[in-house]
Amino acid sequence: RDADEHPLVVENLRKTFGGITAVDDASFSVAEGSLTGLIGPNGAGKSTTFNCITGVHTPSAGRVTFRGDDITGMAPHTIAQQGLVRTFQIARELPEMTVLENMMLAPKRQVGERLTNAVVPGLRGRVVEQEEELLERAWQQLEFFEIDHLAQEYAGTLSGGQRKLLEMARALMTDPEMVLLDEPLAGVNPTLEEKLLDRIHKLRDRGNTFLFVEHDMDVIMNNCEHVIVMHQGSVLAEGTPEQVTNDERVVEAYLGG
């Protein structure tokens, strides 16, 4: 498929853990600028698929390409540098650091690498410059998600929902083209849920592409134009929300567990 129209292409992806096959020959692609849903019963392999795409796990087999480049097995920060990031189902903030410090932590490594490659004269000036740039970007993100008033609080004091906002704000620090969201709404109250969905749509309107794991079918129906259904590690069906919810195999997969 055309890499311009489908920035993310997953082909025959497989991941085994000892005797468990978590992802079993999964193939799919995600359209440019889309908000694509990835659904499936618990244990279907959604998070493992995200882990394989973003370099957290090395796939046992298969290929992942992003914008036509083979990124299979690359390190997460290398993949992030190419413009593909994800959020975690369980937010990964450091509780004993402030919200702002957490924001600054995310992209440090990438900036560090860019600096290593830079010419040495003027290095100090560039470090300061990039720190300032990062700081400005952190504030912009915190304002965008309306958690800037929490910047100096320890992340450990945030509510579950506020943590989800921070997780998302952090993922956006590197200005990615595509974001994989692993249950960003889990444990979030309706007000914050509304806010998160609104921000996702705003970002999408600005050109970002999203692959979105969510178990609430109403949320999928109301927000995604395309849905991929996983079951037992494989892609069972895909199509519009309407198509997949009327698909007998999908209904059976959910009811049959």
Among 29, 36, 48, 72, binds ligand ADP (CB under 6 A): 48
Say how many C-beta atoms besides its own lie within 10 A of residue 125's C-beta: 9
* Beta bridge partners of residue 228, listed in sequence order: 38, 238
Handedness of CA 53, 55, 57, 61 (dihedral sign): positive
Interaction between residue 55 and ligand ADP (CB under 6 A): no
Among 47, 72, 87, 209, binds Mg ion (CB under 5 A): 47
Whose Cβ is closer to Mg ion: residue 89's or residue 130's? 89
Q: Which one of 36-44, 96-104, 121-129, 130-138 is the stretch in contact with ligand ADP (CB under 6 A)?
A: 36-44
Among 29, 34, 47, 223, binds ligand ADP (CB under 6 A): 47
Q: Rounded to whole angstroms, what are the CA distances from 43 to 16, 36, 150?
A: 13, 20, 35
Q: How far apart are CA 220 and CA 213, in angstroms?
A: 9
Q: How far apart are CA 229 and CA 235, in angstroms?
A: 6
Interaction between residue 49 and Mg ion (CB under 5 A): no
To ligand ADP, the closest distance from the beta carbon of 227 in angstroms equals 14
Residues 143-172 interacting with ligand ADP (rule: CB under 6 A): none
Among 9, 10, 30, 40, binds ligand ADP (CB under 6 A): 40
22 binds, among ligand ADP, Mg ion, none (CB under 5 to 8 A by kind): ligand ADP
Interaction between residue 44 and ligand ADP (CB under 6 A): yes
Handedness of CA 136, 142, 145, 146 (dihedral sign): negative
Pairing of strands 226-231, 35-39: parallel
Q: Which one of 13-21, 43-51, 97-105, 151-159 is the stretch in contact with Mg ion (CB under 5 A)?
A: 43-51
Residues in the chain: 257
